[in-house]
Structure 1
Amino acid sequence: MDPTVLELLDREAIRACVARLARGEDRRSAELILSCWWPDARFDYGVHSGDLAAYLAWVVPGADAIKNTQHILGQTHIELAGTSARAETHVVSYHRVDLGEGDRDTCIGGRYLDTLEKREGAWRIADRVMLYDWEQDWGPAADWSRGVMGYPFTAAHFAGRAQGDFSVNWFQGASK
């Protein structure tokens, strides 16, 4: 295969892996998460670190205090070196948390530093470090029962994962 085409395919596979992991984290899906990490992988988020088993136990089903998350990925800078790569991905993550004083909406901005390896044709994460650039507490959580900006929702699924996850059925071809 043309080396330029192969490099483009590798870069896209790495971006897809990082995006799939964010989706898996937001849905607390062990299946999606496991598809992104090598079994011998390590992670360090500053507040929690360890091996893949520790990561999975931390994220699935997730802490009771963290009721909802959404990870929004920005640019991914990738440096390829054969069957290994280093990637820095900007992330903004929203969290609805309850630390005993009611639901609050918070947001964190940072970067994932991933070391990825291509084994048997698949790119997955071998090591991840999370860097934190900022954090903001947005205050008491929004009340989704009221809709948005004063307009009521016409169906429960418009509130995203606050009322389940409509996108799972949507991707499977089922709707409403």
Structure 2
Amino acid sequence: MALEPQELEAIHAREMIRDCVARVARGEDRRDRDLLKTAYWPGAAMDYGIFAGDLDAYLDWIVPGSPAVLLTQHFIGQTLIAVEGDTAKAESHVIAYHRVDYGSEHRDLAMGGRYLDSFEKRDGQWRIAARTMLYDWSQDIGQAADFSEGLMGAPFSAGHFTGRTTGDFSAEFFGKALEGTK
């Protein structure tokens, strides 16, 4: 049973859209302006409730980000995608973790919600033209544990195991591999 060309094109579109959503998550977590620019069309509109603006304002908001937000990690869940020609709508579930420096202590915060993205395909590329964030829940997990030296009483064998917003081992791991997406 062979797939029809339009079925293959729809599968490819969905995979490119999922990849775009993943690039946003990594770009925000690593505060990587160039990677984020590959996921949005120039002039894209964003509305996060606590921020609304165009792509340039969004990039200035995310990169370098608040110095009080020491670490973020965005987990992307299922993404429902409706493709219609060269446009698509996608709803991606997200759980976002943030380690925040309150001055007297570091706290771990988590929130869950959904990205509502409007995509456009231009010159064979799918990118976000507009994003709205919906928040479903938020939780202050409490004072952050210091795991910089190891976990569960066992020390790390090298310094590269602890993640950071910028300059952690993942940059070396990927090396030039991500340049093709930029």
**Match in the other structure for 1:140:** 143
Aligned-residue identity in percent = 55
Equivalences for residues 67-106 of structure 1 within 5 A? 67-106=70-109
- Displacement of 1:15: 0.3
Please, which of 152, 155, 177 is the counterpart of residue 152 of structure 1? 155
**Structure 1: 4+ residue segments shifted above 3 A:** none
Name the count of aligned residue pairs.
173
- Displacement of 1:107: 0.7
Deviations 1:138-174 (A, max 9, x none): 111121234112221111111122794112111238x
The structure-2 alpha-carbon separation of the partners of 1:136 and 1:72, relative to structure 1 and needing over 3 Å to count, comes to same
1:168 and 2:171 equivalent? Answer: yes
Does the Cα contact within 8 Å between 1:144 and 1:162 map onto a contact in 2? no
Does the Cα contact within 8 Å between 1:157 and 1:164 map onto a contact in 2? no
- Displacement of 1:19: 0.3
What TM-score, normalized to structure 1?
Answer: 0.93
Deviations 1:11-57 (A, max 9, x none): 00000000011111111000000000011100000111111111001
Q: Gapped runs of 5+ residues in structure 2?
A: 177-182
Range moving further from structure 2, 92-101 or 40-49? 92-101
- Displacement of 1:131: 0.6
What TM-score, normalized to structure 2?
Answer: 0.90
Q: Which has the higher contact order (CA 8 A, sep 6+)?
A: 2
Letter in 2 for 1:128: R
The structure-2 alpha-carbon separation of the partners of 1:15 and 1:163, relative to structure 1 and needing over 3 Å to count, comes to closer
- Displacement of 1:103: 1.2
What is the CA RMSD across the aligned residues, in angstroms?
A: 1.6
Classify the secondary structure of the residue corresponding to 2:17.
helix
Does the Cα contact within 8 Å between 2:70 and 2:164 map onto a contact in 1? no
Please, which of 10, 22, 36 is the counterpart of residue 7 of structure 1? 10
Range moving further from structure 2, 160-169 or 126-135? 160-169
Classify the secondary structure of the residue corresponding to 1:125.
strand
**Match in the other structure for 2:54:** 51
Deviations 1:75-97 (A, max 9, x none): 00000111110000000111011
**Match in the other structure for 2:42:** 39
